[in-house]
Amino acid sequence: MHGRRLATTDEIIAIASPDSDEPLERLRTWAESRGISFSAVGVGDDVGDVYTESRATLGVTIGGDGTFLEGIKTFAPRGIPLLGVNAGTLSFLARVEIEHLEDALDEVLRGRATVDSRQQIRIEATGLRATGINDVMIQHVPPENPIDRKVTQLEVFADGEYVGEFEGTGLAVSTPTGSTGISLSAEGPVHYPVNNHTLQIVPLHTHRMGIRPLVVAPTTELQIVTRGTASILVDGGRTHTVLSERSVIELTGADQRAHVVRTSYDDPFFTAITDKLGWGAREVDDPGPTELLDGPQPVTEREPNVVERARDIAIEAARSAGEPLRELHGQIESVEYKTDKSDIVTEADHQADHIIKTVVQNEFEDHNIVSEESEYVEGDSEYTWVIDPLDGTGNFAHGNPNYSVSIALLDDDVPVVGVVHVPETDEMFHAIAGEAAYEGEARIETTDRDALDESMLLSGYDPDGSFLAHYYEAARGVRRLGSAALNLCYLASGSADAVWEYDTHPWDVAAGVVIARTAGATVTDETGDPYTVEFDAEGRKGLLGSNGPLHPALLEHLEQEDAGLADVTDD
């Protein structure tokens, strides 16, 4: 989940530990002052009665790590991001202190927080099926008779391969988030948990010097077979059971990851380690690395100008908007009725538009905004954002992956920034006019073909099929993708040699025009004049884009096409 998406939060559900009345009331007051719906439940209570699936929800826990773990158990299955406020003592997970509560939430609402993807672990055994964020402990059950055996033997397999037999108190299978708990006490490694998707097996009090922790991929299928009775505790006992001898325990990384919100007000992970465990690996007041190094110091990076910053913000906004589009697109094929599909498409347009506009307004309060899906926002700047939150609506409605998010910035009606994101393939096309065009971090350029019969053409709206009829035989092929923004990006990247759009709107092509031109394309109207983005144009406004060398031949064919249509009209 992208942190910019949090800017559209319209519902907060809080889970609070006992004796949290004061911070809970502060949270309620903050939410209500911003028109955000607010509900609170106790630790362990069900949120089903207060949670609304269609809303942009933020989960908040107020308490220590125990309360935070309850929040994960509640919110992660619903895909709700979680912000932990520390009202306890020793806390590694809830790292926003109470005095910073409102400031941290303001940062979240401005879309400036980040969201960590945390690996969870899934466990299945006789009478037990659970998911945890920290660890699973498999331990020996103390005997009733003190002279009976006090150790357990566990056989471990990874993807069917025999790992070995562990004899001792037991094993801890932990996630990176849980690496600072039982596994750390058992001399296991500390994992930096941010976007770290691994699992580790840590022996507990083994009787062999050579036994060491084992790190595996989250997709690894672990099997642990008990040689005696064993107890299982998930996340410190939130789920637990006792198994008999020769029981099989199956563990692997959970598909559903937890979304943990982090702000600049959080205690950093390594600071928390140092402060709370007295780690001693570094002192907070130690000099930074550049103060310890000899030689030239790094040059301070300059602040990006408005256009560069706008490009970066547009990329973040497009990626954030792409998340709900991808989620809702996955529902299209399972919907039986056309009216229901229409509702999903409407919701997709609304969510993506809301995210982009909120992000832009948070960062550029004085800029104008034109969007296909919402009312014009008037500012007092020469800059205007032009947004199509879902270009290729027809494709989206039919489960076709060829749709995109298109965002452009105009400086006095001249397109200067273009960003087009393809959610289903995660392609991110972007450019600043006069510089270079990119897909991700790779620079893209148009082709240099100059022969029409060797070229691939893309067509947009072609109401009577005349473009297809005139060019199909003359070119190597004519294709129609259903997204004008994508057509121009594929021209820019060399996947096509030319693009024709019979009728365009500014939001359809503004971003793509910047990307294509910056990559070397020639973009004109049907008469050969440079294409301009206009908001008051009436009727047809054609667009012809090419790699440059093909443009004269394309214009000649268009003139012949127009002449043929005129002859038919005269007859």
Find all residues with CB under 8 Å of 243, minimum gap 6, and list them: 125, 126, 226, 229, 230, 231, 232, 249
Is residue 338 a known part of a binding site? Answer: no
**Cβ atoms of 460 and 446 closer than 8 Å:** no
Report the distance separating Cα 267 and Cα 41, nearest Å. Answer: 26
Report the distance separating Cα 142 and Cα 139, nearest Å. Answer: 9
Report the distance separating Cα 236 and Cα 226, nearest Å. Answer: 20
Residue type (1 letter), 420: V
116 part of the active site: no
Residue type (1 letter), 563: A
Q: Distances in Å between the alpha carbon of 63 and those of 114, 195, 402?
A: 21, 24, 45
Is residue 390 a known part of a binding site? Answer: yes
- The active-site residue, picked from 45, 46, 65, 255, is 65
Question: Closest Cα to residue 137, out of 250, 232, 222, 69?
Answer: 232
φ, ψ at 93 (rounded to 5°): -100, -50
Is residue 235 a known part of a binding site? Answer: no
Three-state SS letters, 135-180? EEEEEECCCCCCCCCCCEEEEEEECCEEEEEEEECEEEEECCHHHH
Is residue 73 a known part of a binding site? Answer: no
**Cβ atoms of 370 and 464 closer than 8 Å:** no
Q: Is 473 in a helix, a strand, or coil? A: coil
Question: Closest Cα to residue 459, out of 535, 546, 401, 563?
Answer: 546
Q: What does the angle CA 323 – CA 326 – CA 332 come to, to the nearest 5 degrees?
A: 145
Question: Which residue is associated with the tokens 């056309």?
Answer: 338
Report the distance separating Cα 80 and Cα 71, nearest Å. Answer: 10
Is residue 497 a known part of a binding site? Answer: no
Please count the CA atoms within 13 angstroms of the CA of 498 that sit on its side-chain side. 34
The single-letter DSSP state of residue 356 is H
Is residue 65 a known part of a binding site? Answer: yes
Pairs from 158-165 (Cβ < 8 Å, separation ≥ 24): 158/214, 158/216, 158/220, 158/221, 158/222, 159/220, 159/221, 160/221, 160/223, 163/201, 163/214, 165/227
Please count the CA atoms within 13 angstroms of the CA of 260 that sit on its side-chain side. 29
Both tokens assigned to 142: 């103390």
User: Residue 407: in which H helix or E strand, if any?
Assistant: strand 404-411
Question: Which residue is associated with the tokens 């030689």?
Answer: 295
Is residue 372 a known part of a binding site? Answer: yes
Question: Closest Cα to residue 235, out of 169, 155, 166, 175?
Answer: 175
Is residue 391 a known part of a binding site? Answer: yes
Q: Are strands 368-371 and 383-391 parallel, antiparallel or unpaired?
A: parallel
Is residue 135 a known part of a binding site? Answer: yes
CA dihedral 234, 237, 239, 243 (to 10 degrees): 80
Annotated binding site for Mg(2+): 372, 388, 390-391, 508
Catalytic residues: 65
Annotated binding site: 65-66, 134-135, 150, 372, 388, 390-391, 508
